[in-house]
Amino acid sequence: MADKLLSRYEELKALVNSHNYRYHVLDAPIISDLEYDRLLNELKKIEMDHPDWITSDSPTQRAGARPADRFEKIRHPAPILSLANAFGGDDARAWLERVKKLDDRVEQAKFVVEPKIDGLSVVLHYRDGLFVQGATRGDGEVGEDITSNLRTVRAIPLRIPVDSKGPKPPKNFVVRGEAFIPNKEFEELNRKLEEAGEKTYLNPRNTAAGSLRQLDPVLTASRPITLLVYQIVFSEGGKIPTSQWEILEYLKALGFPVTDIARRFNDLESAIQYTETFNEGRDALPYEADGMVIKIDDLNLAADLGFVGKDPRGAIAFKFPAREVTTTLNEIGVAVGRTGVLTPYAMLEPVEIGGVVVERATLHNFDFIAEKDIRVGDRVLIKRAGEVIPYVIGPVLDARTGKEKTYKPSTKCPACGQPVEHFEGEVAWYCVNAACPAQLVRNIEHFVSRGAMDIVGLGIKIVEQLIESGLVKDVADLFTLKKSQLLELEGFAEKKAENLLASIEQAKGQSLNRLIVALGIHGVGEVMAGDLSRTFGNLSALSKTSVEELQQIEGVGPNIAESIVDWFAQPANQKLLKKLKAVGLWPEMKKDEKKKDGAFTGLTFVVTGTLPTLSRDGVKEFIEGNGGKVTDSVSKKTSYLVLGENPGSKFEKAQSLGVKILDEAGLKKLAK
Ligand code: IVH
């Protein structure tokens, strides 16, 4: 029985690793996310029962290590070399002439062209096919041990060959690759950070390097880092190919991610020609590349050619012209994001960078402008890389004339003119006007969403239609819509209009908690909305409260208290409240409608992962029904973490803070 389970366990490890490889390396999954989760859950279940079976190549071992105090040093088994640069075809030709003089075989040499990705060079160690250690390049002799961080990178195989039919690697095997964040993922990451009011990253390279060189693997795991492998640094106890082209094929067969744009050529001219096409078509690459590498294919010949300092003679970095230029910053504009975040941008004297005329570049946030002392009228250095939005690197101080003006951010939202707000601990400034036109689509989407007013049938398309037609200027306008107006909109027939009006009407019966959530006050989620409803009973009372009074409520700190008071102080929001009252959306809650007392009174719970029987809402109801409280993030004040399958980083955090952990059964027992 145990034997059978053990072999199922081995099978599951191989299966999950192989699907992982298909997804992250080949970009060609053959099962759905759901099926993948099922396999992973089965595997985790076995590991819970048999922790002694767990091996380092189990896919569950990718994230989970504790933060380190510092990185250990690792001596590389062979020097991790650099490359000499060539700036254009003539430089490359001169390189070949030089090496031809050193060795006759160069005359017949073939060349491999690969992308030179701008990321972080990493060195991966395998013993008997198992990933055992990973390091940064460091000074080329000694690097830093970042094994726990690299484990979280899904594209790195934990065991090779990934496919059992693949070749068996040498006993000791060390490869090198470039770790990076693809441009699209970088933009997505920044978009999320911006929405959360957090500091955005300046560029993909620094983000990848920073994420791999910080001490908490849980953070690394949350960054979309991937890699491409291109070199065997060391091997012992097995044969490896002797040409670069075959090395790439071999690495691929082992299950490593390898570039698919590498090509082999019989002469340098063709290699240069191919390289040039990428200079022109750089934007099509999904990552930042600062050039292409041209390598002599015959690795024995390349090794015999030796080095100049740290640069091997057998290869050359064909650099693309840098996409950095200086231009004048004419003015600083401010964009309002859908969540109300204000992002400053530079309006530039138009300038061409790599075939594209750039007139605008992001300035990230107001702190950045202050830190770099960027002034209006400055000459500024701009970078454009791949599809990433062009950004300002900083001012050219030598070019200052004294006429530049220090920038003072406006205290008003550029879209609606209402005062802007700043929240403690965040870098962003916000417009918190619920009717700000720049945020209206998003605000209405939030207002009608399931956790808020739960108005069914009001999707984003319809919201956009309602705004465009001028029928809706704030959320209160939804409640005065007429059937005749809806029928004039494209795609609306009798039935659809009637259904929508009916579900809007129904929303008037929603509770005060839900309405408070729906208003979208910064920092106020479901739990707090419940507390506020019970304390104040209606929106008039809440709107008259003070920061001091709010702080009497458990869980309300000074920041949230201030955010609530500020929200109600905004004239635009007061106007909105009047309108809501006028349309009959004014729920009350009896103030004495006390929270139910029960076994969990005074206890705070955080839930992570999927529970066997209770849904997200179900477990919340269960806890609150027993007088407990559910919050989103783990802190020292958390009484219990309720742990399900596939937990997130909350699990780590709870462990590190020593928070007690329960499963669903344990939770139910506790209630008795
Ligand atoms: S080959 C002998 N190939 O570029 C091998 N390097 O300036 C020397 N890089 O530090 C390196 N992509 O981090 C090589 N396909 C590629 C590369 C590559 C990126 C980086 C690498 C190195 C730097 C050289």
Report CA dihedral (664, 669, 670, 672) to the nearest 10 degrees.
Answer: 140
pTM for this entry: 0.70
pLDDT tens-digit map of 480-522: 999 999 999 999 999 999 999 999 999 999 999 999 999 999 8
Give the model's pLDDT for residue 483. 95
End-to-end CA distance of the chain: 36
Which phi and psi angles does 337 have, rounded to 5°?
Answer: -75, 175
* Ligand 1 pocket mutation, candidates 76, 83, 120, 245, criterion most atoms within 8 A of CB: 83
In short, whether 82's Cβ falls inside 6 Å of ligand 1 is yes
* Ligand 1 pocket mutation, candidates 81, 82, 292, criterion most atoms within 8 A of CB: 82
Range of the domain at 503: 432-582
**Range 337-344 average pLDDT:** 86
Q: How far, in Å, CA of 173 to CA of 545, rounded?
A: 67
Say if residue 389 is in the same domain as residue 485.
Answer: no
In short, whether 290's Cβ falls inside 6 Å of ligand 1 is no
Q: Assess whether pLDDT exceeds 90 at residue 113.
A: yes
Task: Retrieve residue 379's tokens.
Answer: 């000459």
In short, whether 86's Cβ falls inside 6 Å of ligand 1 is no
Give the model's pLDDT for residue 133. 97
In short, whether 160's Cβ falls inside 6 Å of ligand 1 is no
Number of domains making up the chain: 5
Distance from Cα 81 to the centre of ligand 1, integer Å: 8
Say if residue 102 is in the same domain as residue 118.
Answer: yes
pLDDT tens-digit map of 64-74: 566 777 899 99
Q: How far, in Å, CA of 610 to CA of 651, rounded?
A: 12
Say if residue 168 is in the same domain as residue 104.
Answer: yes
The SS3 assignment for 124 reads strand
CATH number for the domain including 284? 3.30.470.30
Which phi and psi angles does 595 have, rounded to 5°?
Answer: -60, 140
Question: Could you tell me which of 297, 365, 305 has the C-alpha nearest to residue 332?
Answer: 365
Give the model's pLDDT for residue 474. 93
**Range 282-289 average pLDDT:** 89
> Looking at ligand 1, which residue's alpha carbon is closest to its atom 10?
82
Say if residue 290 is in the same domain as residue 210.
Answer: yes
Say if residue 147 is in the same domain as residue 182.
Answer: yes
In short, whether 81's Cβ falls inside 6 Å of ligand 1 is yes
CATH number for the domain including 438? 1.10.150.20
**pLDDT confidence of 596, banded at 50, 70, 90?**
low
pLDDT tens-digit map of 423-439: 877 888 999 888 888 88
Q: Active site residue: 110, 116, 295, 579, which one?
A: 116
pLDDT tens-digit map of 395-409: 999 999 999 999 999
Q: How many CA atoms lie within 13 A of 276 on its CB side?
A: 10
Residue 587 lies in a domain: no
Distance from Cα 294 to the centre of ligand 1, integer Å: 10
Residue 169 lies in a domain: yes
Residue 419 lies in a domain: no
**pLDDT confidence of 174, banded at 50, 70, 90?**
very high
In short, whether 231's Cβ falls inside 6 Å of ligand 1 is yes
DSSP state of 52: G
In short, whether 302's Cβ falls inside 6 Å of ligand 1 is no
Report which of residues 65 and 373 the model is more confident about: 373
Please say whether the beta carbons of 258 and 77 come within 8 A.
no
**Range 626-639 average pLDDT:** 86
Beta bridge partners of 135: 123, 145
Say if residue 311 is in the same domain as residue 183.
Answer: yes
Distance from Cα 219 to the centre of ligand 1, integer Å: 26
Say if residue 31 is in the same domain as residue 95.
Answer: no
Confirm whether 239 is a catalytic residue. Answer: no
Q: Assess whether pLDDT exceeds 70 at residue 594.
A: no
> Looking at ligand 1, which residue's alpha carbon is closest to its atom 4?
116
Residue 163 lies in a domain: yes
**pLDDT confidence of 632, banded at 50, 70, 90?**
confident
Say if residue 632 is in the same domain as residue 520.
Answer: no
Say if residue 232 is in the same domain as residue 304.
Answer: yes
Average pLDDT across the chain, whole number: 90
Which of 61, 86, 107 is the endpoint of a domain? Answer: 61
Q: How far, in Å, CA of 428 to CA of 435, rounded?
A: 19
Residue 647 lies in a domain: yes
In the block, residue with structure tokens 């250690």: 133
Q: How far, in Å, CA of 542 to CA of 516, rounded?
A: 10
Give the model's pLDDT for residue 591. 60
Give the model's pLDDT for residue 333. 94
Report CA dihedral (490, 494, 500, 504) to the nearest 10 degrees.
Answer: 120
Which of 319, 339, 374 is the endpoint of a domain? Answer: 319
Task: Retrieve residue 648's tokens.
Answer: 């997130």
Beta bridge partners of 361: 346
Distance from Cα 113 to the centre of ligand 1, integer Å: 12
In short, whether 312's Cβ falls inside 6 Å of ligand 1 is yes
| Residue 86 CB coordination number (10 Å) | 22
The string of DSSP letters for 53-111 reads G--TTSGGGSS-PPPPSSPPEEE-SS------EE-SHHHHHHHHHHHHHH-GGGGG--E
pLDDT tens-digit map of 219-246: 888 899 999 999 999 999 999 999 999 9
pLDDT tens-digit map of 290-312: 899 999 999 999 999 999 888 99
In short, whether 116's Cβ falls inside 6 Å of ligand 1 is yes
**Which residues, including other chains, have CB under 8 Å from residue 433's CB and lie 6 or more apart?**
340, 413, 416, 418, 439, 570, 572, 573
**Atom of ligand 1 at shortest range from CA of 116:** 12
Please say whether the beta carbons of 558 and 584 come within 8 A.
no
Say if residue 291 is in the same domain as residue 376.
Answer: no
The string of DSSP letters for 491-512 reads T--HHHHHHHHHHHHHHTT--H
Say if residue 92 is in the same domain as residue 226.
Answer: yes
Task: Retrieve residue 242's tokens.
Answer: 């002797």
> Looking at ligand 1, which residue's alpha carbon is closest to its atom 18?
116
CATH number for the domain including 385? 2.40.50.140
Say if residue 522 is in the same domain as residue 633.
Answer: no
* Ligand 1 pocket mutation, candidates 118, 178, 274, 305, criterion most atoms within 8 A of CB: 178
Which of 286, 319, 352 is the endpoint of a domain? Answer: 319
pLDDT tens-digit map of 80-97: 999 999 999 999 999 999
**pLDDT confidence of 585, banded at 50, 70, 90?**
very high
CATH number for the domain including 624? 3.40.50.10190
Distance from Cα 116 to the centre of ligand 1, integer Å: 6
The string of DSSP letters for 409-477 reads --SB-TTT-PBEEE-TT---EEE--TT-GGGHHHHHHHHHSTTTT--TT--HHHHHHHHHTTS-SSGGG
| 104-118, 556-570, 637-651, range with greatest mean pLDDT | 104-118
Q: Which helix (H) or strand (E) holds 265?
A: strand 263-265
Give the model's pLDDT for residue 197. 75
> Looking at ligand 1, which residue's alpha carbon is closest to its atom 21?
121
Q: How far, in Å, CA of 632 to CA of 641, rounded?
A: 11
**Which residues, including other chains, have CB under 8 Å from residue 294's CB and lie 6 or more apart?**
86, 92, 111, 112, 113, 268, 271, 272, 275, 315, 316, 318
pLDDT tens-digit map of 117-136: 999 999 999 999 999 999 99
